[in-house]
Amino acid sequence: MERATISDEEWALINPVLLTLPKIQVGNLDKCRTFISAVLWILRGGMEWRMLPPEQGKWNSVFKRYSRWCAHGAWDLLLKTFSQQADLQDVSIDGTVNRAHACAAGYKKNSADEEALGRSKGGFSCKVHAICDAHGLPLNFILTGGQTAECTQAIPLLTGVGAAAVLADKAYDTNELREWLKVHRIKAVIPPKSNRKDDISCDFWHYKERHTVECLFGKLKYYRRISTRYEKKAINYKGMLCLASVFLWLR
């Protein structure tokens, strides 16, 4: 799968970052590159781990190593490193519901909330809450069950980002969020809901730039392991999101 390979140019950028990650045993660099290529192959095609080609390594070894890196937050740190050059003049936030496959259930009894699984109009699902910079490049993700309101994750997504303006749709029109943005001197570019009693203006010309986060979701869902969730554990699914995001930054 040609689009699921790491080019020499990409590896030259990823390799130095890997060597700085805490609790991560990189080991042989060639084998590490093969390992990440194997995960990318799974991510891109949405294949089962057992279908991993032999030349990519033993599927169980790759899966266990991937899970260890997820537990240590390696993929999150990779994304954090590459997103340090983000354009924070504007950030956009939004959420999207991704269907969860039946095999995503059953990690532990009564662990649906912990593993960000729930029920929405679309059925068994997971909601991905995302924040991106002015160019539509991802900064971070929060996972919840599909039924969770998007506005509940706005402040956690925005905390520590340091943006000048926040672009979001009507789902984020809450007094709590507007007050938080005011305290932190961040411009709120959020249209008011039709049932809002007080008159609040919105810079709709500026609001047009919110399409960047919608485009981000479109790009991420080209990765079949993201468009449908197969991972039982939330941290493993977020690892897929972060790895895909790293390649968006690289490409």
Band of residue 1 on the pLDDT scale cut at 50, 70, 90: very low
- In the predicted structure, residue 244 carries a pLDDT above the cut 50: yes
- For the chain, which residues make up each domain, given as ranges? 2-82, 87-231
Mean pLDDT of 56-77: 96
Q: Are 107 and 115 in contact (CB under 8 A)?
A: yes
Q: Which fold has domain 87-231?
A: Nucleotidyltransferase; domain 5 (3.30.420)
Q: What is the pLDDT of residue 109?
A: 76
Residue 159 one-letter amino acid:
T
Tell me the pLDDT tens digit for each residue of 170-205: 999 999 999 999 999 999 999 999 888 888 889 999
Band of residue 123 on the pLDDT scale cut at 50, 70, 90: confident
Quote the Cα angle for 94-10-226, to 5°: 35
The pTM for the full model equals 0.94
Nearest Cα residue to 43 out of 246, 220, 224: 224
Tell me the pLDDT tens digit for each residue of 128-168: 999 999 999 999 999 999 999 999 999 999 999 999 999 99
